[in-house]
């Protein structure tokens, strides 16, 4: 529980709010990413990098991380306030999310002193972009079967294999890499190791993949005899699976420690309702259609249940029935609600629903169409909804594999 006084909070909120008002960047005139998974061009990257640096320099990013690592050693309550204000002012995202949200907290938690000094600050400033090399072409949901090899050779590990769907793989300086050091291990999980690997070494070739939106954002990443220093190994050989699972806890929002900042443009159902105010169906306002109203209320309730679930998760006597069910199901509930909401947004636009970004008649420039297509990044990335359901069924309900 935070020990910060209400007065300090309010004062801080006013301060951040004033800063954001004064510093919110003007519309750059090109399409900005709706999340960190959609940074497709140098132009977008430079814009976002500059913004993240500015937020950090102002003192509103990594507030709870230690001073010597670029943070401020403050109560996490301050960062939450800063994040809330960033959301309220609808400023751009802090794009270096794999560093800020997953690799950073991981290093903070289990990294050595050397790793902390070396990596944490660059994550906050945006200077060092991080990517995640977990998924492979043949092993996605079944991550434990990953086959990319890491072979010890003197002071190096030699990496061979292919990773895929590597978000910002073409921009990244570092990768959190899951690779197989011992193919002979009895349990497939025990053969895996975890690396904080440099990307700018010979033999690593990230090739951008075009996404369903027509934009870019991730790569297929080829490793051909790529040598990385042996000191890149995190923990011990064979601990890769354990560390990867911990990383996924951060990624799925089930564990705290993130540096803060917005990872994606938050789109709430109010935004959708507003865009429907002037839409008609059968000659009358679409918002007066009884069937539509019923669907909207169901979606509002779904979204509200997620918010209320977060509140309830903090109340111990109300979480004893299915312990950890709320944090563990958060990703599933939230991302599926988001997807359904965005799909309905298109569905309720009448004929305009058929238009896309680039058509001058598209509502809000095709915002909802692009947002819907992008919503699958969250229902697939970080573990698909179906795999989340398996995890919940097995870990919370105790159902057999």
Partner 1 sequence: MSVMGNTALSFSEDQAMILDVARAFCRDKSPIGSVRALLESDTGFDPGVWRQMVDMGWPGMALPEAVGGSGLGMGAVVPVMEAMGKSLLGGPLLGSVLAGQLLWRAADDSAPSDSTRNAVLVALAAGAPAAVAVLDNHDWGASRIRCELGTDNALQGVKQQVMEAAGAEWFVVVAQQAGEPVLALVPAADLVAGARRSHTLIDCTRRAQAIDFSGVRVPEDAVVRGPRVAAALRDFRLLGALLVAAEAGGSAAACLDTTVDYLKTRKQFGRLIGSYQALKHPCVDILVGVDSTRSFVYHAATLLTDGELDREAEVACRMAKAQATETLKYAGDRAIQFHGGMGFTWECDAQLYVRRAQWSQQAFGDAQHHRKRLAQLLLDD
Ligand X SMILES: Cc1cc2nc3c(=O)[nH]c(=O)nc-3n(C[C@H](O)[C@H](O)[C@H](O)COP(=O)(O)OP(=O)(O)OC[C@H]3O[C@@H](n4cnc5c(N)ncnc54)[C@H](O)[C@@H]3O)c2cc1C
Binding site for partner 1 (CB under 8 A): 268-270, 273, 287, 290, 293-294, 296-298, 300-305, 307-309, 311-312, 315, 317-318, 321-322, 325-326, 329, 332-333, 386, 389-390, 392-393, 396-401
Please give the full DSSP string across 324-349, using - where no structure is assigned.
THHHHHHHHHHHHHHHHHHHHHHHTT
Extract long-range pairs of 211-214: CB within 8 Å, 24+ residues apart: 211/38, 211/40, 212/373, 212/376, 213/38, 213/357, 213/370, 213/373, 213/374
Partner whose footprint covers residue 59, from partner 1, ligand X, none (CB < 5 to 8 Å by kind):
none
Cβ–Cβ under 8 Å, residues 287 and 293: yes
Alpha-carbon distance of 324 to 322, in angstroms, equals 6
Q: Considering the rule CB under 6 A, would residue 383 count as an interface residue with ligand X?
A: yes
- Rounded CA-CA distance 246/176 in Å is 12
Residue 279 binds which entry of partner 1, ligand X, none, CB below 5-8 Å type-dependent: none
Nearer to partner 1, 160 or 325 (CB): 325
Q: Which does 322 bind (CB under 5 to 8 A by kind): partner 1, ligand X, none?
A: partner 1
Q: Which does 396 bind (CB under 5 to 8 A by kind): ligand X, partner 1, none?
A: partner 1
Q: Given the complex with ligand X, which of 275 and 390 has the nearer CB atom? A: 390
Instruction: Find the shortest distance in angstroms from Cβ 216 to ligand X.
Output: 11
Q: HSE, CB side, 13 Å, CA atoms: give it for residue 98.
A: 27
Among 68, 84, 141, 347, binds ligand X (CB under 6 A): 141
Asked whether position 213 contacts ligand X by CB under 6 A, the answer is: no
CB of 138 to ligand X, least distance (A): 8
- Between residues 57 and 90, which has the closer beta carbon with respect to partner 1? 90
Residues in the chain: 401
- 390 makes contact with ligand X (CB under 6 A): yes
Q: How many beta carbons lie within 10 A of that of residue 57, not counting itself? A: 11
Q: What is the dihedral of CA 171, 172, 173, 179, to 10 degrees?
A: -140
76 scored as a contact of ligand X (CB under 6 A)? no
Give the dihedral sign, CA 21/22/25/26. positive
Closer to partner 1 by Cβ: residue 220 or 302: 302
Q: Is 322 helix (H, G, I), strand (E, B) or coil?
A: coil
Stretch that binds ligand X, among 164-172, 189-197, 276-284, 320-328 (CB under 6 A): 164-172
* Residue 287 touches which of partner 1, ligand X, none (Cβ within 5-8 Å per kind): partner 1
- Can you give the binding site for ligand X, defined by CB under 6 A? 37, 131-135, 140-141, 165-167, 218, 377, 380-384, 386-387, 390
């Amino acid at each position: 529980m935070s020990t910060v006084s209400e007065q300090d909070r309010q004062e801080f909120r006013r301060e951040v709010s004033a800063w954001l008002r004064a510093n919110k960047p003007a519309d750059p005139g090109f399409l900005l990413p709706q999340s960190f998974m959609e940074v497709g061009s140098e132009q977008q990257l430079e814009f976002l990098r500059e913004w993240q640096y500015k937020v950090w320099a102002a003192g509103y990013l990594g507030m709870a991380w230690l001073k010597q690592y670029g943070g401020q050693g403050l109560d996490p309550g301050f960062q939450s306030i800063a994040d809330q204000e960033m959301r309220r002012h609808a400023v751009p995202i802090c794009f270096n999310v794999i560093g800020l949200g997953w690799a950073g907290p991981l290093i903070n938690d289990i990294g050595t002193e050397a790793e902390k000094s070396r990596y944490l600050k660059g994550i906050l400033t945006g200077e060092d972009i991080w990517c995640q090399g977990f998924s492979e072409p043949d092993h996605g949901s079944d991550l434990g079967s990953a086959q990319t090899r890491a072979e010890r050779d003197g002071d190096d590990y030699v990496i061979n294999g292919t990773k895929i769907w590597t978000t910002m793989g073409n921009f990244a300086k570092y990768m959190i890499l899951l690779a197989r050091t011992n193919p002979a291990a009895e349990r497939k999980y025990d053969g895996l190791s975890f690396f904080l690997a440099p990307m700018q070494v010979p033999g690593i070739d990230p090739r951008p993949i075009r996404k369903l939106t027509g934009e870019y954002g991730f790569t297929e990443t080829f490793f051909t005899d790529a040598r990385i220093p042996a000191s890149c190994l995190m923990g011990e050989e064979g601990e890769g699976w354990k560390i990867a699972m911990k990383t996924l806890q951060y990624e799925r929002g089930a564990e705290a420690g993130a540096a803060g900042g917005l990872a994606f443009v938050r789109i709430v159902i109010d935004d959708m309702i507003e865009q429907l105010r002037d839409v008609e169906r059968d000659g009358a306002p679409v918002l007066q259609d009884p069937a539509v109203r019923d669907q909207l209320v169901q979606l509002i309730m779904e979204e509200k249940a997620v918010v209320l679930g977060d509140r309830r998760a903090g109340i111990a006597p109300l979480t004893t029935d299915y312990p950890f069910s709320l944090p563990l199901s958060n990703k599933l509930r939230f991302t599926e609600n988001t997807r359904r909401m965005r799909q309905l947004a298109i569905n309720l636009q009448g004929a305009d629903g058929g238009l896309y970004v680039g058509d001058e008649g598209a509502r809000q420039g095709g915002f909802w169409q692009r947002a819907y297509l992008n919503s699958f990044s969250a229902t697939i990335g970080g573990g698909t909804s179906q795999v989340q359901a398996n995890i919940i069924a097995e870990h919370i309900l105790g159902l057999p594999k």
